[in-house]
Amino acid sequence: MSETSQVTVVVASRNRREELLASLARHRAPVVYVDNASEDGSAPAVREQLPHVDVVALPRNIGAVARTVGVRRARTPLVAFADDDSWWAPGSLAQAARTMTDHPRLGLVNARILVGPEERPDPICAEMAASPLPGEPGVPGARLLGFVACAAMVRRDAFLDAGGFDPVIRFPGEEQRLALDLAARGWVLSYLDDIVVHHHPSTRREARSERARGIARSHLLTAVMRLPWARVAGRARSALAAGRAERVGLVDAVGRLPAAVRAREQVPGHVVDLLDTLEDPVAAAAAQHRGGRG
């Protein structure tokens, strides 16, 4: 049963058939499932067992860009993302949709994430709730400049206007470039603690070192695409000092640098100011007291 006619749930997955079949059945809205060239029969199984799901089977794995394919397929004004191991709690899709409808400046909301059967709060939620970014008058929640894709609802038109998830970043760490572009277009991103997404992490997840490697690669590529060159250099230095996985991530980024440079469009200064506040709130407050970033 659909909670709201305003929302489509978009799920992208690859080679996680059993988790996918279990989670897709929990969604209380129309679902677009984009299959990233799975080799385990995921797409045929979904078509057979869950015929109400709109299946898009891709010929190759395109990472997070598969979600962009799903958003284009959707026809509702709002899109909620979920992974093959996550789903929105009963009532949360409708509540998030009402909040976005009532506050037209909201471009994206991030729900609270409860992990596993024991429903442990994901530590990142405490970080989002404590965001140091200044709130927007009349807009609920803690203001963000990033989000967790599996627990986010977005305005479809805003998402597509900002380019969606792109083929340069791919996955993981695909959220930040999109968050920067949404903010550059005047949209507010908020964390809403009273809206819930359940996440039961798959046992078939990449190793922590592999994820750190991917995040370092995406962190640098995002900076090349959207941030001042000094910030690019700073991110490269930080990765070099962090550890072996992060250094390998920098090497991985080299092959994508030409595409990142071609896609470069530096975000406005006020968005860089927001990023300064997140990454170094003490320095940002001092700069504001001086009357500028310097």
Across the range 80-89, mean pLDDT stands at: 97
Last residue of a domain, one of 199, 219, 240: 199
Q: Is the pLDDT of residue 157 over 60?
A: yes
pLDDT digits (tens, 9 = 90+) for 93-104: 999 999 999 999
pLDDT digits (tens, 9 = 90+) for 35-53: 999 999 999 999 999 999 9
User: What distance in Å separates the CA atoms of residue 271 and residue 7, rounded to the nearest whole number?
Assistant: 28
* Among the listed residues 1, 22, 33, the one whose alpha carbon sits nearest the alpha carbon of residue 86: 22
State residue 17's pLDDT score: 96
User: What distance in Å separates the CA atoms of residue 262 and residue 247, rounded to the nearest whole number?
Assistant: 23
- Give the CA angle between residues 273, 79, 201 to the nearest 5°: 85
Residues 238 and 188 in one domain: no
Average pLDDT of the chain is 93
Residues 90 and 54 in one domain: yes
Q: How many domains in the chain?
A: 2
Question: Does residue 2 fall inside a structural domain?
Answer: no
15: left (phi over 0), alpha (psi -120 to 50) or beta: left
State residue 176's pLDDT score: 96
Most confident listed range (164-173, 198-207, 283-292): 164-173
Residues 195 and 221 in one domain: no
Residues 173 and 74 in one domain: yes
Residues 30 and 133 in one domain: yes
Residues 131 and 253 in one domain: no
Last residue of a domain, one of 149, 182, 199: 199
Question: Does residue 266 fall inside a structural domain?
Answer: yes
Question: Does residue 50 fall inside a structural domain?
Answer: yes
Reduce the DSSP state of residue 77 to 3 states and report it. coil
**Which range of residues forms the domain containing residue 271?**
208-290
Across the range 99-127, mean pLDDT stands at: 97
State residue 288's pLDDT score: 46
Residues 127 and 70 in one domain: yes
Across the range 81-92, mean pLDDT stands at: 97
Across the range 215-244, mean pLDDT stands at: 96
When pLDDT is cut at 50, 70 and 90, the band that residue 170 belongs to is confident
- DSSP strands (E only) in 89-175: 106-115, 120-121, 142-144, 152-155
Last residue of a domain, one of 199, 220, 252: 199
